[in-house]
């Protein structure tokens, strides 16, 4: 009987992960459609096919659900895989290319979340806090890559992290892709080249 327990636990974990994703996906759509303030937990629960108590048990509050969107963004943008690849890579140019890929995949796959957080941060403290957490994670990821570049023996310019974060910002992406009509491939290639020429000495 005990030999079955790990499999049962894994199945339970998979079910729980599926429930969390279903809730976050429902919230993502409703927040985009109705706005965060006008989306009650009851409606998220109805859309996700769960009880409101299930949402409270997992997230604690609507603000907790909103915070969970940052985790969903990380997952959908493939950031854990890119972080793992960065840990294996010893080529500084390839490492900066991974930053360009992160920026591209976040905007391409989760642009709705980025837009919602950006537009709502000025008027809602929950959204502002969630946006700040996303920005904090982004900066930590960039700092990790800069450390890897230095460990590979390359010197980077002063304030390299600040420059990279600015180049990877949503405003730059919007200007080039949305307003100027660049493809995501063009944007990623430009960003990689710009990061390399701007940051590596």
pLDDT tens-digit map of 144-160: 999 999 999 999 999 99
What's the confidence (pLDDT) of residue 2? Answer: 43
The residues, any chain, with a CB within 8 Å of residue 163's CB and separated by 6 or more, are 157, 198, 199
Q: What is the mean pLDDT of residues 78-90?
A: 93
Please determine, for residue 6, whether its predicted confidence score (pLDDT) is greater than 70. no
With cut-offs at 50, 70 and 90, classify the pLDDT of residue 163: very high
Residues 96-144: tens digit of each pLDDT? 999 999 999 999 999 999 988 988 888 899 999 999 999 999 999 999 9
CA atoms within 13 A on the CB side of 65: 31
For the chain, give the percent of residues with pLDDT over 70. Answer: 94
Give the chain's count of helices (H) and strands (E): 10, 0
Q: Is the pLDDT of residue 8 over 80?
A: no
> Which pLDDT belongs to residue 7?
55
CA distance linking residue 147 with residue 33, whole number of Å: 40
Mean pLDDT computed over every residue of the chain: 92
Q: Residue 63 pLDDT > 70, yes or no? A: yes
Q: Tell me the three state secondary structure of residue 200.
A: strand
pLDDT of residue 67: 92
Residues 6+ apart with CB under 8 A from 52: 41, 42, 45
Is 1 a residue whose pLDDT tops 70?
no
């Amino acid at each position: 009987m005990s030999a079955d327990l790990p499999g049962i636990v894994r199945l339970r974990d998979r079910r729980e992960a599926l429930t969390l994703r279903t809730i976050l996906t429902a919230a993502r759509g409703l927040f985009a459609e109705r706005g965060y303030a006008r989306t009650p937990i009851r409606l998220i629960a109805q859309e996700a096919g769960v009880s409101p108590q299930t949402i409270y048990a997992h997230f604690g509050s609507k603000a907790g659900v909103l915070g969970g969107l940052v985790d969903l963004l990380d997952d959908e943008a493939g950031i854990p895989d890119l972080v793992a690849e960065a840990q294996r890579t010893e080529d500084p140019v390839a490492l900066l290319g991974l930053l360009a890929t992160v920026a591209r995949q976040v905007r391409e796959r989760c642009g709705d979340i980025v837009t919602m957080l950006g537009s709502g941060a000025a008027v809602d403290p929950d959204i502002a806090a969630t946006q700040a957490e996303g920005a904090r994670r982004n900066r930590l990821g960039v700092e990790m890559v800069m450390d890897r570049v230095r460990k590979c023996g390359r010197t980077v310019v002063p304030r390299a992290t600040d420059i990279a974060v600015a180049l990877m910002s949503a405003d730059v992406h919007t200007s080039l892709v949305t307003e100027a009509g660049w493809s995501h491939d063009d944007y990623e290639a430009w960003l990689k080249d710009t990061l390399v020429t701007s940051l590596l000495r």
